[in-house]
A and B are shown apart, each in its own frame.
Chain A
Amino acid sequence: MSEIHGLDTFLQRVPYVRFLGMRVELAGDEMTTVLPFSQHLIGNPMLPAIHGGAIGAFLELTALAQLSLVEPARRVPKTIDITIEYLRSAGPRDVYARAILRKVGRRVANVQVEAWQESRAKPVAGMTGHFLLRNDEA
């Protein structure tokens, strides 16, 4: 179960994951991340809507969590760049996300993430990012 161990390490050791309140559900090797709704995630209380920055951070952490499943021995990868596309306003409800590792090379991974609320067919946001993989000594 070294994969799960890598994921647990990531989730428990990164303080910012706890700050957001993010958690993970695993069905075999299929991972869904959950961002439970909380008042401190709200960006605009008039709508109300979850802050775009919180959504972006959740998408990026989902990519890092997925990488920790397949690369459990490494340190937390460094984010090189991300492009977030906002598709719908995220209401005051839980957000879910899944990541696809489009390529995991020796040094760089390309990861795509999609987030949704009520219906997976109606995503609230998507992200593509590049991540620098690091060995323990690096």
Chain B
Amino acid sequence: MSDFDSAPLHLKMNLSPHAAALGMNLVSIEKGRGIMSVPWREEFVGDPESGVIASGVVTALIDHTCGLAINSAMDEMVPIATLDLRIDYLRPAAPRTGLTAEAHAYRLTRTVGFVRAEAWDVERGDLVATAQAAFMLNTRAQPLGAKS
């Protein structure tokens, strides 16, 4: 897997096998922020009565996008691990519709990163889910937003 090892962050986020299996796509990236999307597919459906995408897909998308936001906030790629992830499912997604998530790593200490994320189906302002997560950082990288 040396391809994965040496890939730049924006490619690595799409190369993760589970992300690739879900068809995840990096939409945009800036320091401490990232946006990713997943398409709707028949095999992702969680409620066969309605054709709505499974909330597990939302979970995977949000977890992955949170990782992107943290990695983009740091000067070098370091291994990170999710400590906890809380997701509120505000409403079901529209049937037969994919999802987009934006995550913001709003505070990084030397050891922990705090992230908020939101997911929507059609319009950015009409959210499907909100999330809050904490990550362990295996890092000696420069903290973001901390007094040095």
Contact = CB atoms under 8 A, between A and B. Distances in A.
Interface of A: 13-16, 18-20, 39-48, 50-54, 56-58, 60-61, 75-76, 78-86, 89
Contacts of B20: 40
A41 B16 CA distance: 9
B40 to A, nearest CB: 11
A14 B45 contact: yes
B43 A82 contact: no
A81 to B, nearest CB: 5
14 contacts: A13-B48, A15-B43, A45-B15, A51-B18, A53-B18, A53-B60, A53-B63, A56-B56, A56-B60, A57-B59, A78-B89, A83-B85, A86-B82, A89-B81
Pairs of residues from A and B, 9 with the lowest C-beta to C-beta distance, nearest first: A53-B60, A57-B56, A16-B54, A51-B18, A40-B21, A53-B63, A56-B59, A45-B1, A42-B17
Interface residues of B, number: 39
B55 A60 contact: yes
Interface string B102-141: 0000000000000000000000000000000000000000
A83 B19 CA distance: 21
A51 B64 contact: yes
Given A43-B16, A80-B88, A83-B87, 9 more contacts: A16-B46, A44-B16, A45-B15, A48-B1, A51-B17, A52-B82, A60-B56, A79-B55, A86-B83
B92 interface: yes
